[in-house]
Amino acid sequence: MVVVVEGVRLHLSHPVEYAAEWIGQEEVMRELLAAWMALGEDDLPMNPRITGKPGVGKTTLAYAAAKRLGREAYIMQGTVDTRPEDLIVQPVVEGPGTLKYVASPLATAMLRGGVAILDEANRMPEKSWASLAPLLDSRRYVESVVAGIKIPAHPEFRLVCTMNEDASTFDLPEYIFSRLQPQIHIDFPEESEEKAILRQNLPMAEEDVISLVSEFLQSAHGSDEPYTVRDGIHVGRYAMRLLEAKRAPDLEHAIRHAIRQVLGEDALRHVL
């Protein structure tokens, strides 16, 4: 699809569409939806950041919240070499001597009134964040240097960032951090919720697979290990394959084998 902004044709990105449902932990879902509310005509939504260990469900929460609002969701993966133009508009060679301008998923969400998820945004360098500064305050626009235009955010546009709590990230400058409020922190789920998440993500698994993976995860959470439900899903998927391929004599061996290969020898101390 093409839209024209200040006389410049912009080719839009596609929204993301996949099956994802948020299970349990209704509190963080309610906080995110609350942060996005506009309390009247002159009020602006907030730009929250979702934090938590890798694999706790940050991206899933952001996406599921967008879907609960019935909005299109656009996901942009932040990396150490994300440039300002990657975030806004990129020129693409179309033919000999002709360029077309492609709006990023973020700019597309701004134009269409969708939800932009800046995923693992803390990996982005300061220069890229600086280009978003006017979007994150009451100005609500970005400037594309490449296309020479100003792109205003649709009133329905919503933004959320996810940030991993690990060492591999930049420390954001304070002026950016202070614009990404509030912080919504996702913790490990309760046992019953975690089992429900495992069941949804391992539809082929018998209940004994779910129980063993859940016991392992709960034990690891008790020691504040970084293992999350995502790791549990990988362990369960691999263990079932090991059994099917007759690479393990029984489920318990398969689970141990899978944990060793997915998470390493150390993780085995959480197997009862």
Ligand X SMILES: Nc1ncnc2c1ncn2[C@@H]1O[C@H](COP(=O)(O)OP(=O)(O)O)[C@@H](O)[C@H]1O
Chain position whose Cβ is nearest to ligand X: 57
CB of 137 to ligand X, least distance (A): 26
Binding site for Mg ion (CB under 5 A): 59
Q: Residue 15 binds which entry of ligand X, Mg ion, none, with Cβ cut-offs from 5 to 8 Å by kind? A: none
Residue 243 binds which of Mg ion, ligand X, none (CB < 5-8 A, kind-dependent): none
Question: What's the half-sphere exposure (Cβ side, CA atoms, 13 Å) at 259?
Answer: 26
**Quick one: 181 or 200, whose CB is closer to ligand X?**
200
Contact, 74 vs 80, CB < 8 A? Answer: no
Least distance CB 218 / ligand X (angstroms)? 15
Residue nearest Mg ion, CB atom distance:
59
Q: How many CB atoms lie within 10 A of CB 70?
A: 6
Quote the least distance from Cβ 174 to ligand X, whole Å. Answer: 24
**Residue 22 binds which entry of ligand X, Mg ion, none, with Cβ cut-offs from 5 to 8 Å by kind?**
ligand X
Rule CB under 6 A: which residues touch ligand X? Answer: 20-25, 52, 54-60, 162, 197, 201, 229-230, 233
For ligand X, the closer of residues 104 and 201 by Cβ is 201
Residue 174 or 224 having the CB closest to ligand X: 224
CB 113 within 8 A of CB 71: yes
Compute the Cα dihedral for 258, 264, 270, 271 and give only its sign: positive
The DSSP-derived string for 139-203 is: T-EEEETTTTEEEEPPTT-EEEEEEE-SSSSPPPPHHHHTTS--EEE--PPPHHHHHHHHHHH-T
